[in-house]
Amino acid sequence: MTDLSFPGQAASPGEGAGQTPSGGSGHRFDTRRHWAASLSLGFRDRDGRTRMTRARHHGPLRVQRPFYPETGHIPDARYAEPCHVYLLHPPGGLVSGDELRIDIEAERGAHALLTTPAATKLYRADSHGVCWGQHTHLTVRPGALLEWLPQETLCFDGARGMQSTTLDVQGDGCCVGWEVLALGRPASQLPFVSGRVEQRFALTRDGRPLWRERQPLDPMHSRFHGYWGQGGSTVQATLWAVGLTAPQAAVEALRECLPASRHWAVTQRRDVLLLRYLGDERNAAWEVCQQAWEVLRPWLSSRQASVPRIWMT
């Protein structure tokens, strides 16, 4: 009863023997087009410093060498010195048939921060309407802190796919993260008027579901413009934090520190803090998330937030 995997996640169409016309690279451009990439990272506390002790990749999904911008001894630190890692997807965007799997695990005492050097682009589906998929699985062991702070996802008109985030938290493990999604290309006057993208979140602690959410984005559906749904918004963001010792106090702190607006709101339920943004400004959504993370950092760790330099380039 605790299986929270997403439908279709295990499917790998077109991988049958002898079915790939281009000599096993997986490239084909019919309805079974498929290009899989995966990345599996593990983090451990080694003598007070978080080390990336596992880095396996398959296909065009890589990491840069980890680095340690948060040096310095912290008295009573709950975690080892944080390890910052940038995830790279050299193609820069997802097209029909792309299937990305990201699997990250933080062991006891580890503190890992993951981000990306640029926005992920989701391109228009091919003429067969083949979907892409991006599935992130975060495992946080007791006594670990994992920060999942990717740059935004830009979803172009006609894109079709599924983005799922599965969070498997154990014991007092802590996780903070976000997904920021912008639809269409407003600067080029190319709004998201066709296609279908679905975002899903499933967070369990010790196997018990604490938070589940699905956000189907279908411009042809009445919820896309209706106020109960997207209300016509082109940018949305969802930030979560789990493992806070005083979630309601953290909610109050966010309300105090962030400029009030009807485009974002924060709540907490079942020990999960949730901040949601719905509006039309990518920068506003990003700033709310980044500021919220900076406010939350001292609640999660004894270190102040250290903004990844890549965000400023």
Partner 1 sequence: MVTIITTIRRRHMSTEPVSQHDPLALAGLMQLVSPALPIGAFAWSQGLESALELGWVDDEASLGEWLAGVLDDGLTRCELPVLARAHRAWAEGDAEALAHWNDWLQANRETRELLEEEQRLGGTLVRLLRSLDQVPVAPVMPETPGYIVAFALAARVRGVSCEDAMLGFAWAWLENQLTVACKALPLGQTSAQRLVERLRPALVAAVTEAQALEDDDLGPALPGLALASALHETQYSRLFRS
Residue 7 CB, shortest distance to partner 1, in Å, is 4
Is residue 242 classed as helix, strand or coil in its secondary structure?
Answer: strand
Comparing CB distances to partner 1, the nearer of 13 and 216 is: 216
Residues listed for the chain: 313
- Rounded CA separation 197/241 (Å): 24
Residue 205 CB, shortest distance to partner 1, in Å, is 10
- Rounded CA separation 135/141 (Å): 20
Residue 141 CB, shortest distance to partner 1, in Å, is 21
The residues, any chain, with a CB within 8 Å of residue 98's CB and separated by 6 or more, are: 35, 36, 37, 91, 132, 133, 134
Residue 9 CB, shortest distance to partner 1, in Å, is 11
Comparing CB distances to partner 1, the nearer of 165 and 215 is: 215
Comparing CB distances to partner 1, the nearer of 6 and 29 is: 6
Comparing CB distances to partner 1, the nearer of 86 and 224 is: 224
Comparing CB distances to partner 1, the nearer of 3 and 76 is: 3
The residue written with tokens 């269409």 in the block is 184
Binding site for partner 1 (CB under 8 A): 1, 7, 200, 203, 208-216, 222-223, 226-231, 236, 255, 262, 264-270, 274, 276, 278
Comparing CB distances to partner 1, the nearer of 191 and 226 is: 226
Tokens of 170: 């154990």
Comparing CB distances to partner 1, the nearer of 65 and 227 is: 227
Residue 230 CB, shortest distance to partner 1, in Å, is 6
Comparing CB distances to partner 1, the nearer of 24 and 226 is: 226
The backbone torsions φ and ψ at residue 124, rounded to the nearest 5 degrees and listed phi first, read -55, 140
Tokens of 179: 């997904």
- Rounded CA separation 57/89 (Å): 11
Closest to 277 (Cα-Cα) out of 294, 265, 295, 293: 265
- Rounded CA separation 30/137 (Å): 29
Gap between the terminal Cα atoms of the chain = 45
Residue 116 CB, shortest distance to partner 1, in Å, is 24
Closest to 235 (Cα-Cα) out of 154, 133, 134: 154
- Rounded CA separation 196/123 (Å): 12
Kindly state the helix (H) or strand (E) to which residue 268 belongs, with its residue range: strand 264-269
Residue 122 CB, shortest distance to partner 1, in Å, is 18
Is residue 186 classed as helix, strand or coil in its secondary structure?
Answer: helix
Residue 26 CB, shortest distance to partner 1, in Å, is 26
